[in-house]
Amino acid sequence: MKISAILLAGGKGTRIGSSLPKQYLPLDEKPIACHSLEVFLNHPAIAQCIVVCAPEYRSYFSNYSVQFAEPGERRQDSLFNGLQLVEHNWVCVHDAARPFLTSELLTQLIEEGKEIGAATLALPVKNTVKECDPNGFVRSTPDRSYIWEVQTPQLLSKEVLEKGFAYADAHQLTVTDDVSLAELIDHPVKLVSGSYKNFKITTPEDIIICRSINSHSPTMEVST
């Protein structure tokens, strides 16, 4: 089983309050994005790595054997651009701002997802969640035992991705994660237990958590 990995590194990360996109901030003497990239490059099932990022940031990956695709306006546009370079029948998509991916998690995703055709790392939510109306009033309280928070990587067969993109394009739909494209065509998606450490760096508070997890990382400077 050969897999093409797509690392989505085109986000601007405006919520982090930095002039440099969050995925390029230093962590343990290398950019955040490179931590998960190295996991992919060192995994025996990964035969190709595609980095989706703007040309001005490609120098951050100069020491790695990767291909590049242009970012799009939406997440799915960036993924679609990366998909055009895919050489294998399986695709693994990951957020560059999740630096704590491990080889063990990736292996587990592959093992559980390859029989289904679509799978994602995920975790049950810890807190009660509320559905609200447009005015901010509670509409309902979903049973949280059935609510999971989705992570990446997400694994899909190339065929499922292509069919999902065709459906989304035909119906002018926007999705916020990759396995949603499988859902659009009623393809089953397997939830694979992830890790609370595999979080996405989004806010300045996440930087503090990141430092705590990686106690040997250098100071991450967040400047406007």
HEC profile of the chain? CCEEEEEECCCCCHHHCCCCCHHHCEECCEEHHHHHHHHHHCCCCEEEEEEECCHHHHHHHCCCCCEEECCCCCHHHHHHHHHCCCCCCEEEEEECCCCCCCHHHHHHHHHHHCCCCEEEEEEECCCCCCEECCCCCEEECCCHHHCEEEEEEEEEEHHHHHHHHHHHHHCCCCCCCCCHHHHHCCCCCEEEECCCCCCCCCCHHHHHHHHHHCCCCCCCCCCC
Residue 224 lies in a domain: no
pLDDT score for 222: 43
Determine which of 26-35, 47-56, 114-123, 151-160 has the lowest per-residue pLDDT on average.
Answer: 26-35
Check whether 154 has a pLDDT greater than 50.
yes
The dihedrals phi and psi of 39, each to the nearest 5 degrees, come to -60, -45
pLDDT score for 205: 80
Comparing CA positions, the residue from 89, 83, 45, 44 lying closest to residue 67 is 83
pLDDT score for 141: 97
pLDDT score for 101: 97
Mean pLDDT of the chain: 91
Q: How many CB atoms lie within 10 A of CB 99?
A: 29
Residue 219 lies in a domain: no
**Count of structural domains, the chain:** 1
Residue 92 lies in a domain: yes
pLDDT score for 17: 60
Residue 220 lies in a domain: no
Residue 44 lies in a domain: yes
**Which pLDDT band, with edges at 50, 70 and 90, does 104 fall under?**
very high
Given the DSSP bridges, would you call strands 138-140 and 148-157 parallel, antiparallel or unpaired? Answer: unpaired
Q: Residues 211-218: what's their mean pLDDT?
A: 61
pLDDT score for 29: 85
Residue 218 lies in a domain: no
Q: For residue 65, what are the domain limits?
A: 3-213
Q: What is the largest CA-CA distance in the chain?
A: 51
Check whether 3 has a pLDDT greater than 50.
yes
- Which pair of structure tokens corresponds to residue 166? 């065709």
CATH number at residue 61: 3.90.550.10
Q: Residues 27-36: what's their mean pLDDT?
A: 92
The dihedrals phi and psi of 69, each to the nearest 5 degrees, come to -130, 155
Residue 223 lies in a domain: no
Can you tell me the distance from the alpha carbon of 104 to that of 52, in angstroms, rounded to the nearest whole number? 24
Residue 56 lies in a domain: yes
pLDDT score for 216: 47
